[in-house]
Structure 1
Amino acid sequence: MMASTRLASPAVFFTGTFALPLLFIVMWSSGYVVGKLAVPYAGPFTVLTLRFGVAALLLLVLALAARAPWPGSARQLGHLVVVGLLIQALQFSGLYTALKLGVPAGESALICGTMPVLTALGASLFLGEKTQARQWLGMAAGVLGVLLVVWHKLGPGSAGAGAYAAAVVALLGITLGTLYQKKFCSGMDLRTGGCVQLAVATLVALAPALHLEGFAVQWTPTFVFASSWLSIVNSIGATSLLFILMRKGEAGKVASLFYLIPGVTALLAFAVLGETLGPLSLVGFTATAGAVWLCTRSR
């Protein structure tokens, strides 16, 4: 009850309570690093099928044990299906396809890092949220910061137009899904709602996993750890936190947290995978932190 009282105001939430946003950023960012650990042992759609399927089963068990409420109408169920298709299936299928076809991780992060700008525009047009001048300034600083974070990873590659189109599909999936969830599913139960969304995403990923990859898996300790982390920490934990943040705050403000994802991912990759961090990355990380502060601080 105390947590609910503290989170009653979006301004209080974003300026006075940092625990949930910080936890969300770290959990969401970890998915890129742990995903990189998993992909060598299974195809991308196979990884996604296991990630979504295990998470859906866990949430089903939790929902049944707690007798959580399920959607009361076909309309409510339909809204959950749409969010699952957008945030889970479309976003991650597009992202993994882009990486598989040769788009560098830095360029993928840069493309998806523009999500807060598109979300703010969509929230202004479709949700009636007002975007102040300082927030537009913050969004510009965020795009610049993301560019600085991944600049050292940019360069010519073998990816074609179709690969970059897949990355744009991932960007559209998370953007449209965030807006749709805010408008139609803000009151959903996280257990049953998440179960429905992940079940839909599992079915979408299963077909290419079977037909394109033969559902081949090397069951190494690393893969078991990575798959479990992606299912529990990312598909359940991070996504649930995203929905909680959307419920408590404005869509544009919540989306601005994504500016920090590339920077935190770079820090985690440095710690876990040994990837290097250049001076521009550190400057970019600072810029993105300032951008989030500009976008989310109270008037």
Structure 2
Amino acid sequence: MTSSRWLLLGAVIFTFLAWASAFVVIRGVGPYLDGGPLALGRLAIGTFALGTAVLLARSWVWPTKREWGQLVIVGVAWFGAYNVALNTAEQTLDAGTAAMIVGIGPILIALGAGLFLGEGIPKWLSIGAAVAFAGVVLIGVGTMLAQGGARPLDLVGAVLALIAAVTYAIGVIAQKPVTRHIPAIQATFLACAIGFVVCLPFSGLLVAQLAVAPASAWWGTVYLGVVPTALAFTTWAYALGRMPAGQLGIASYLSPPLATVMGLLAFGEIPHPLALAGGVVGLLGVAISRRKARVPVAA
């Protein structure tokens, strides 16, 4: 394997490890910060960290008018709406149900990339997406069973989680063309800054809630801004510029099993056997999506 392929693999692995850890940290910070204020705090720190990195790099590619429009879509949809919707949904939904609903996102990415980015929808990608989504459903059901039985689904939380899935897919599809011309760290910085501006109405709540929050909530917000946002979104943009959006989106099914293991280590939660089986199925779906169709050899 060449050095560039190792670098790409490292970027993908780091991205999903960081995003999986974000679910655990959000859960720890959630009792002290509401969904909107938490999103604003995370994006403020992420924007500062990314802006500093861009200044140090001293490389700037001016986006075209079309690319500015795409960056606005990414910033508003993925960095802004997605974070607020998901943070708020997880305050009324258990993590398994939220993950099950947001798990629709990669399928929407694969379909959207095929329809709007000309990537097509290969047979193995479709099969892998279906298998991986089945794994996410098993994780969600297993998580609810581990909590003592399925409880009534909160309609508002479910709708917010669905909004998070849709905005996630919209953001990825809009970001893909930008990464062909704009450096990954610059594209991430601009989108994060736009998301930060979108979340500014939550400034008053953020100040009020941080004033009474413990130090752990402060450090959790800093971690979310630096690692899952500044670093992981940059490595994601790097990978997105070098592989199909649909294929990379399906690989995000790696996050649920990783988050399950991290939740066990952080909170001492023992996953339900059905959730563990779902993690295995999800990984199988990712492997299937990587297969390539056989090309007939001419006689």
Q: Give the structure 2 partner of residue 125 of structure 1.
A: 115
The CA deviation at 1:262 is 1.5
Q: Which amino acid aligns with 1:156?
A: R
Indicate how the Cα distance of structure 1 residues 76 and 57 shifts in structure 2: closer, same or farther if over 3 A, else same.
Answer: same
Matched residue, 1:58: 49
Query: 1:139 — aligned with what?
Result: 129
- Kept in 1, the 8 Å contact 2:98–2:161? The answer is yes
Aligned to 2:285: 291
Structure 1 vs Structure 2 CA RMSD: 2.1
Structure-2 separation of matches of 1:126 and 1:265: 31
| Corresponding position of 2:183 | 189
* 2:267 matches 1:277: no
Aligned counterpart, 1:156: 151
Deviation track 1:172-214 (CA, whole Å, cap 9, x = no partner) reads: 111011111113443322333222211211122221342x666
Contact 1:68-1:191 within 8 A present in 2 as well: no
For the residue of structure 1 that corresponds to 2:30, the secondary structure is helix
Q: Does the 8 Å contact 2:41/2:206 carry over to 1?
A: no
Q: Quick one: structure 1 residues 228 and 257, their matched pair in 2 at CA, closer, same or farther if it must change by over 3 Å?
A: same
> What's the CA shift string for 1:36-85, capped at 9, x where partnerless?
11122222222211110111112112222222205344443332222111
1:236 to 217, 230, 236: 230
Structure 1: distance between partners of 2:187 and 2:94: 33
Greater displacement, 67-76 / 47-56: 67-76
CA distance in 2: counterparts of 1:73 and 1:33, whole angstroms: 38
Kindly provide the amino acid, as one letter, of the partner of residue 265 in structure 2.
Answer: A
Q: Distance in 2 between matches of 1:215 and 1:258?
A: 35
Distance 2:177 2:157 in 1: 31
Q: Where do 5+ consecutive residues of structure 2 fail to align?
A: 145-149, 294-299
4+ long deviations beyond 6 Å: none
Q: Provide the TM-score with structure 1 as the length reference.
A: 0.88
Query: Which letter does structure 1 place at the counterpart of 2:151?
Result: P
2:84 is aligned with 1:87:
no
Equivalent residues in 2 for 1:35-50, closer than 5 Å:
35-50=26-41
CA contact (8 A) 2:35 2:83 kept: no
Q: Distance in 1 between matches of 2:27 and 2:34?
A: 11
CA distance in 1: counterparts of 2:14 and 2:222, whole angstroms: 18
1:240 to partner: Cα distance? 1.1
**Contact 1:104–1:157 (8 Å) recurs in 2:** no
Given that 2:143 and 2:272 are in contact with CA atoms closer than 8 Å, whether structure 1 keeps it comes out as: no
Instruction: Report if the CA contact (8 A) 2:184-2:235 is conserved.
Output: no
Kept in 2, the 8 Å contact 1:33–1:268? The answer is yes
Percentage identity across paired residues of the two chains: 24
Residue identity in the other structure for 1:113? G
Deviation sequence 1:215-248 (CA, Å, 0-9, x none): 4213533123211210111111111121112111
Q: Which amino acid aligns with 2:169?
A: T
Letter in 2 for 1:258: S
Identify unmatched segments of 5+ residues in structure 1: 8-12
Q: 1: distance between equivalents of 2:240 and 2:185?
A: 16
User: Matched residues in 1 for 2:239 and 2:57: separation?
Assistant: 23
1:114 aligns with 2:97: no
Give the distance between the partners of 2:11 and 2:29, measured in 1 at CA: 26
1:10 is aligned to none
Q: Distance in 1 between matches of 2:208 and 2:62?
A: 32
Letter in 2 for 1:192: Q
Does structure 2 conserve the Cα–Cα contact (< 8 Å) formed by 1:51 and 1:235?
yes
Q: Distance in 1 between matches of 2:189 and 2:36?
A: 19
Q: Aligned residues, how many?
A: 286
